[in-house]
Structure 1
Amino acid sequence: MKIKMEINYKPAGQFEETRFEKIHNVIFKNSNEASIVVATEIANLIKEKSQKNEQCVLGLATGSSPIKVYEELVRMHHKEGLSFKNVVTFNLDEYYPMDIENIQSYYYFMYEHLFDHIDILPENVHIPDGKISSNGLYQYCIDYEMKIKEAGGLDFQLLGIGRTGHIGFNEPGSHYNSGTRMITLDHITRVDAAPSFLGIENVPRKAITMGIATVRAAKRIVLLGWGQHKASIIKETIEGNISSQVPATYLQEHQNTTFVLDTEAGSELTRNKTPWLVSSLIWTDALKNKAIIWLCEVTQKSILSLTDKDYNDNGMSGLLVQEGSAYDLNIKMFNKLQHTITGWPGGKPNADDTNRPERGNPAKKRVIIFSPHPDDDVISMGGTFDRLVEQGHDVHVAYQTSGNIAVSNQEALKFAEVSLKLNSDSIVTQNIIDTLSNTNEYASDTIEIRQLKGLIRRSESFAATRYLGLNDSNVHFLDLPFYETGKIKKDKLSEADIAIMCKLIEEIQPHQIYAAGDLADPHGTHKVCLDALFKALEELKTKSYMKDCWVWLYRGAWHEWDIHEIEMAVPMSPDQVLKKRHAIFCHQSQKDGVMFQGEDSREFWMRAEERNRDTAQKYNALGLADYAAMEAFVKYDNWS
């Protein structure tokens, strides 16, 4: 029997003990809300221990997942008087080898996000030493274990989860009884860390980590999971069998573990993905759409081919009872999906728009395409961009960040050397060349180098927009301040960022806004840029012109909207696919070895083409027309 949590979690979707789920979990609307609840549980534990004059022993995690938890604990310390003087901490892991001064070290991370801002006693902080000699490593790991035991064991262990299913750095193959030790990092783990290290070649191959047994000995465990990219491993961990190949599954046998998830991370759980297989439910329109598309995939049939038996055999008999027959259901779904397809993303003039995704009037619309980086516009919606321009709309592109951090030093050096050839007297250019020639990719960029890299991205953006026929006057470079740090780590979104967004929207007064809705990383640039738009819309929503503004969300190079979510699908001909490819090629600094490749080794144009082709093929498999490719969009209505 699972031990009940002492804190009152209030998730968006309550946990149900089903035959599928083997670990207690709660799902929140977003990671911020969830993090505050977790921080509150930790704070309550600290206070409870303090009242008993006892130490509170915390096991702490690093990475993007716990950042907001630490921010909230710091806030409680400064605003509510939460003291950490009775707290002893043990961190899960550290890269090896790794200097504590290195900004990528977990030592640096913990002091930056927590320890420098609270009153914890220095002697109570324990972080694995990434510079311990190899000769002394074995004894060091034994000593680390002994220190935890001498402190009374872990009262609370905070965890994240990697895409390999690792907790700490316990990679696939880790033993149930493993203790603190050195481990070789899985390739996927190193790929995920590569953006922070400016390339996988800079990511250490080894790490020191607490073991599975060390973690499982904690009295209470909370694992944080944010974002769509964690959804698959979360499902496998919670619903799969215990296996050393997914080390997090060992937590199924811990008696007081909770997975705290956001909506995206919990989306693949059976009760969320296919809730009709779990229990009876109220069939909303959204659930009907999702279920029928799923049924087509399971049966490998088109929509109009589904039968009553197909519905009954796959847990959807209740839907038949409600709707009457498969025939009626199929027709409704087919028509609904058919109506999402349009070759007129800005609306078709002088046409009945009753069943079209966009309005026919005004015939000529003012449009803003917000692009987080200087190539997301053409990668994610290059075909739609082309259509909007060709069909005579007043299209504006707004690049929210300079994208300078994604230009390699080698690429910047090439441009600087050409510039010096043209102007051999330029001291600034010579200084840039000298700096780039004597530094590594890991160092923070100087202001001059950032400016050069930003100009490279800006010139490439103009090349792409000109290729698509857009006037330079309709191209805007916002250079939002949160991004301009010269480092991987960005600043928080500020009023200055939002003011810049508001100013552009007020100037153009758009009928349409397109924005990146790719939320795979809740702490990534795309998420911050989308938050900036949402906050700007909130400030401007009372303006009269905003009543006529519709917001369409596209997704990036990694994921596409599920078919049941799509509200506008813009088909592309083979010629348009090729035109989109050439527009992406204009971004030469991001071709042939992009710095932030992610787990996909293909170039961005290849990813985009396959994703668009896959969307078209899915529509065709459902019984709709056969197109070469499709770009997909979801309408955002929550601001109006």
Structure 2
Amino acid sequence: MYHNISYEDLTPVEKHFLKASGKEFIYEPTEKIPVIQIKNFYELGRFTALRFIEWVQQNPGGVISLPTGKTPEHFISMISYYLNNWNNKSVQKELEEVGIDCSIKPDMFSLHFVQIDEFYPIDSSQHNSFYYFVKKFYFGNLNLDPQKALLINVNEIGTAEGLPLNKIFPDRVVDLSLRTRWPSTRLERLQKTTIEMVDEFCTNYERKIRELGGIGFFLGGIGPDGHIGFNIKGSDHFSTTRFTQTNYETQAAASVDLGGMEIARSILTITIGLNTITYNENATAIIIAAGEAKSTIVRDSVENSFSNKYPATVLHKLKNARFYITNGAALRLRERRFDDVKKESPLSQKSIERAIINLALEKDKEIKDLNYDDYVSDKFGKYILEKTSKDFSAINNSIIEESMKKFNRGISSVENQIILHTGPHHDDIMLGYLPYIIHLVRNASNKHHFAILTSGFTAVTNSYMLRLVESLKEYLSNNAFLDLFNEDYFNPSNEYGKNKDVNLFLDGLSAHSRTTRKEASARRLLRNILEIFGNLNLTEVNFKVHELINYFNSQYPGKKDLPEVQKLKGMLREYEEEIVWAYFGFSTKSVSHLRLGFYQGEIFTETPEIERDVMPFVNLLRKIKPTVLTVALDPEGSGPDTHYKVLQCITEALKIYEKEEDISNLKIWCYRNVWNRFHPAEANIFVPVSLNSFAIMENIFLNSYGSQRDASFPSYEYDGPFCRLVQKIQSEQYQTVRLCLGKDFFMNHQIPRVRAAHGMVYLLELSLNEFYTKSIELKKLTEFKTPK
């Protein structure tokens, strides 16, 4: 059943933040659950922390269940801040402003904590287990009582004959069919017994939660498929705590934590059920979501009726259930977007374009064929007619004309430019707009330089490194590199040697010789080892190689690496990037690896610093003196992730550089790739992509990025390498532009390059001041200063 919820049902804290949002708390009948919008990720954490404190004051000894991962970063830090500074006057003033009674300090020690979920099999002492996270961040910061906790400590669940988990499940694969079939080997008998023990643990876990009266305060994130805990898409709304499998989307999201899809595909989970969450009908259940990437699943969860397809719809039956989301996550909530459009004065061309292009997609009609009835059948279309007082055909024509301008910019010649291409990670540039680069490099008047700002070591699995190191061991044992070693070929400062490594690899590609490619990679690995570990002789090199083999064999997947190993993995990614641009004739001097220091592989990443993270890019600007700069410009995400932090480093570097050089005419080309994409209304350059360009992109990606070929850390949207997801995205973008320009526009065009188009890249060109404005807008949505 749905509850009729009024404004008076909201708490003082909720009323305070709702007022600040300028929105209604629910837009009925479209929305089925109250939603409170917050301006940015930091404020979302602060709001949720204050609501939690408010609840704890009213429910001492209550039962709480809180999330793990990056989602609760500011929630945890803000609770800790308020509790540790409760008697501070400024804190008390802040608490009073939102309606919290400062005379009652929350009794955190009285609470019963319930862990939501855990991977299985996993050693609970590993830093990537949720048990570890809960102990470190919740019990380590919030003064909770461990004796009152219900935790999922896999190490204490038990196994058949008390054997270690790695003896029961040596390949980490748990076959749940053993629940219903006879085991055929001794190992299967041990596995069947262990599975039964886990099932029994789940039943007892559920019983203990219900004996406590159920969960009183539940806070959770929401996965790309809509999962809450590990209640994936399709989960029964009456499910309880259980031992279960996951789906691809959940595996992809967990792959970074677990050390790659190779592990994530096989690992199972223990999770509380949807009925566990809603068992207490008076429970406060809150889902938090930040960033545009979550906007689709937020819409589906808020606007749909009860459905197993969308697990969060189970919360609609709780009168105290809410969605707390950032403005980015609210992007696709139709009534809220309409409210934003109505507040525009005058109505922007971008909003008109977005609404009418969306209408064309919904109707599957070309823009020119949209009629009056189409407009008035759509809330946005009808409003646009009323607000602009224009005829629908005039609006259609304006969108067609604007789309044509964007397209013509994408096929116009670019000459005499110095283009500095930047990527937060290796492969960002090529996945963002390689088809455009293919045309830009054909004009010899243009100069190009490629800069990767972070080392990208987290994208390399231990198993891949192990294969490379074992390959190097073979060459060393055969003395294959003895002469080169004595010739100082492997000296890290030997630029000729670096370029020779890359060129040898390309020779191997040309000749279809795996042996040649293997040798080239082994050469570069040896060079990297010498750079990291110093001027070793061959005996010492052999010892170091054995050391590395032992390291990669013994580390559990997902464990944070030693700094030297992080650097080794990062240098592998750098080598792969050099191969990419060598396809077009660029030497290693044309590729800069900045390795910005904020990127350290932590779950909660560091804030960039001027000397460490900004000045290296200032120095590169001084050296290259670009006339065009490319930048990954993602929308508001779930906090200041790598792309955002790189953007801010570039922004600060430009502000320093412009005091030395006149860069008022600098053009900024903004791109997006697999993680986010422009709406055509947001872009101002449409670049056509041919099947030939798609083929080149796939060839380069799969051959150059060896560490990414198996898609160990993929997108949840596509089960495969990123290059194929990009082709899918760019193909879809082409179909959208066809609706704008006409389906026959491309087929009948006089230019062969246009006729060959079957994909489209969207770019946004900005002036320097426009870029600063965009960057500041993102900073307001994303940046924060956590109180100390």
TM-score range, shorter chain: 0.7 to 0.9
Which residue number in structure 1 is paired with residue 268 of structure 2? 206
Which residue number in structure 2 is paired with residue 318 of structure 1? 383
Which residue number in structure 1 is paired with residue 433 of structure 2? 381
1:569 corresponds to 2:686: yes
**SS of structure 2 residue aligned to 1:117:** coil
Residue 307 of structure 1 deviates from its aligned partner by 2.5
- Compared with structure 1, are the counterparts of its residues 20 and 553 closer, same or farther at alpha carbon in structure 2 (3 Å cutoff)? same
Residue 251 of structure 1 deviates from its aligned partner by 0.8
1:231-287 Cα offsets, whole Å, 9 max, x none, are 222222111120233221111111112101223322222225666999999733222
Residue 406 of structure 1 deviates from its aligned partner by 2.2
Paired amino acid for 2:367: I
- Compared with structure 1, are the counterparts of its residues 177 and 412 closer, same or farther at alpha carbon in structure 2 (3 Å cutoff)? closer
1:92 corresponds to 2:121: no
1:58 corresponds to 2:64: yes
Structure-2 separation of matches of 1:164 and 1:591: 23
Name which of 604, 607, 631 aligns with 1:515. Answer: 631
Equivalent runs, 1:274-423 vs 2, <5 Å? 283-315=347-379, 316-321=381-386, 322-342=388-408, 364-391=416-443, 392-420=445-473, 421=475, 422-423=481-482
Conserved in 2, the CA contact under 8 Å of 1:457 and 1:587?
Answer: no
Which residue number in structure 1 is paired with residue 228 of structure 2? 167
- Compared with structure 1, are the counterparts of its residues 430 and 68 closer, same or farther at alpha carbon in structure 2 (3 Å cutoff)? same
1:415-441 Cα offsets, whole Å, 9 max, x none, are 334544225532333432343355554
- Compared with structure 1, are the counterparts of its residues 156 and 276 closer, same or farther at alpha carbon in structure 2 (3 Å cutoff)? closer
Residue 158 of structure 1 deviates from its aligned partner by 0.7
Paired amino acid for 1:126: L
- Compared with structure 1, are the counterparts of its residues 277 and 252 closer, same or farther at alpha carbon in structure 2 (3 Å cutoff)? farther
**SS of structure 2 residue aligned to 1:103:** coil
1:530 corresponds to 2:665: no
1:606 corresponds to 2:724: yes
Which residue number in structure 2 is paired with residue 27 of structure 1? 37
- Larger deviation: 589-598 or 7-16? 7-16
- Compared with structure 1, are the counterparts of its residues 91 and 410 closer, same or farther at alpha carbon in structure 2 (3 Å cutoff)? closer
1:455 corresponds to 2:571: yes
**SS of structure 2 residue aligned to 1:450:** helix
1:67 corresponds to 2:80: no
Q: Percent identity?
A: 22
Paired amino acid for 2:227: H
Residue 445 of structure 1 deviates from its aligned partner by 3.4
Structure-2 separation of matches of 1:632 and 1:196: 31
Structure-2 separation of matches of 1:382 and 1:561: 16
Conserved in 2, the CA contact under 8 Å of 1:194 and 1:202?
Answer: yes
**SS of structure 2 residue aligned to 1:43:** helix
Residue 59 of structure 1 deviates from its aligned partner by 1.9
Residue 24 of structure 1 deviates from its aligned partner by 0.6
Structure-1 separation of matches of 2:399 and 2:663: 31
Structure-2 separation of matches of 1:172 and 1:252: 16
Paired amino acid for 1:320: L
Which residue number in structure 1 is paired with residue 191 of structure 2? none
1:473 corresponds to 2:603: no
Residue 510 of structure 1 deviates from its aligned partner by 3.7
1:576-603 Cα offsets, whole Å, 9 max, x none, are 4444444434523145413212331232
Equivalent runs, 1:244-283 vs 2, <5 Å? 244-272=308-336, 283=347
Residue 289 of structure 1 deviates from its aligned partner by 0.6
Paired amino acid for 1:120: L
Residue 464 of structure 1 deviates from its aligned partner by 1.5
Structure-2 separation of matches of 1:171 and 1:301: 35
- Compared with structure 1, are the counterparts of its residues 367 and 87 closer, same or farther at alpha carbon in structure 2 (3 Å cutoff)? farther
Which residue number in structure 1 is paired with residue 55 of structure 2? 45
Structure-1 separation of matches of 2:21 and 2:619: 36
1:84-114 Cα offsets, whole Å, 9 max, x none, are 3344322222223433202221111123333
Equivalent runs, 1:181-196 vs 2, <5 Å? 181-196=242-257
Paired amino acid for 1:593: D
Residue 325 of structure 1 deviates from its aligned partner by 0.9
Structure-1 separation of matches of 2:255 and 2:632: 23
**SS of structure 2 residue aligned to 1:85:** helix
Conserved in 2, the CA contact under 8 Å of 1:416 and 1:433?
Answer: yes
Paired amino acid for 2:705: Q
Structure-1 separation of matches of 2:309 and 2:578: 47
- Compared with structure 1, are the counterparts of its residues 364 and 78 closer, same or farther at alpha carbon in structure 2 (3 Å cutoff)? farther
Q: Tell me, which stretches of 5 or more residues in structure 2 are unaligned? A: 88-104, 159-193, 476-480, 483-537, 747-753, 774-788
- Compared with structure 1, are the counterparts of its residues 68 and 297 closer, same or farther at alpha carbon in structure 2 (3 Å cutoff)? same
1:15-44 Cα offsets, whole Å, 9 max, x none, are 442321101112333322212211122233
Name which of 631, 634, 639 aligns with 2:764. Answer: 634
- Larger deviation: 488-497 or 90-99? 488-497
Structure having the larger proportion of residues in helix = 2
1:204-236 Cα offsets, whole Å, 9 max, x none, are 643333332332225322111123443222222
Normalising by structure 1, we get a TM-score of: 0.86
Paired amino acid for 2:394: D
Conserved in 2, the CA contact under 8 Å of 1:301 and 1:622?
Answer: no
Conserved in 2, the CA contact under 8 Å of 1:412 and 1:452?
Answer: no
Which residue number in structure 2 is paired with residue 227 of structure 1? 291
**SS of structure 1 residue aligned to 2:566:** helix
1:99-131 Cα offsets, whole Å, 9 max, x none, are 320222111112333322333333244323334
1:53-93 Cα offsets, whole Å, 9 max, x none, are x3354221123322221122233344456763344322222
Paired amino acid for 1:639: Y
**SS of structure 1 residue aligned to 2:407:** coil
1:611-640 Cα offsets, whole Å, 9 max, x none, are 223322321232254241322113463624
Paired amino acid for 2:225: T
Conserved in 2, the CA contact under 8 Å of 1:372 and 1:400?
Answer: yes
**SS of structure 2 residue aligned to 1:552:** strand
Conserved in 1, the CA contact under 8 Å of 2:341 and 2:347?
Answer: no
- Compared with structure 1, are the counterparts of its residues 152 and 16 closer, same or farther at alpha carbon in structure 2 (3 Å cutoff)? closer
**SS of structure 2 residue aligned to 1:249:** helix
- Compared with structure 1, are the counterparts of its residues 162 and 181 closer, same or farther at alpha carbon in structure 2 (3 Å cutoff)? same
Which residue number in structure 1 is paired with residue 669 of structure 2? 552
Which residue number in structure 1 is paired with residue 147 of structure 2? 123
Paired amino acid for 1:369: H
Which residue number in structure 2 is paired with residue 353 of structure 1? none
**SS of structure 2 residue aligned to 1:413:** helix
1:311-348 Cα offsets, whole Å, 9 max, x none, are 22333233224242122212211111111124668x85
1:110-164 Cα offsets, whole Å, 9 max, x none, are 2333322333333244323334135655665465456556656544221112233
Structure-1 separation of matches of 2:605 and 2:675: 24
Query: What's the RMSD between the two structures over aligned residues?
Result: 3.4
Which residue number in structure 2 is paired with residue 109 of structure 1? 133
**SS of structure 2 residue aligned to 1:639:** helix
- Larger deviation: 251-260 or 220-229? 220-229
Conserved in 1, the CA contact under 8 Å of 2:39 and 2:327?
Answer: yes
Paired amino acid for 2:231: N
Which residue number in structure 1 is paired with residue 182 of structure 2? none
- Compared with structure 1, are the counterparts of its residues 38 and 551 closer, same or farther at alpha carbon in structure 2 (3 Å cutoff)? farther
- Compared with structure 1, are the counterparts of its residues 365 and 114 closer, same or farther at alpha carbon in structure 2 (3 Å cutoff)? farther
Paired amino acid for 1:289: E
Conserved in 1, the CA contact under 8 Å of 2:701 and 2:709?
Answer: no
- Compared with structure 1, are the counterparts of its residues 29 and 176 closer, same or farther at alpha carbon in structure 2 (3 Å cutoff)? same
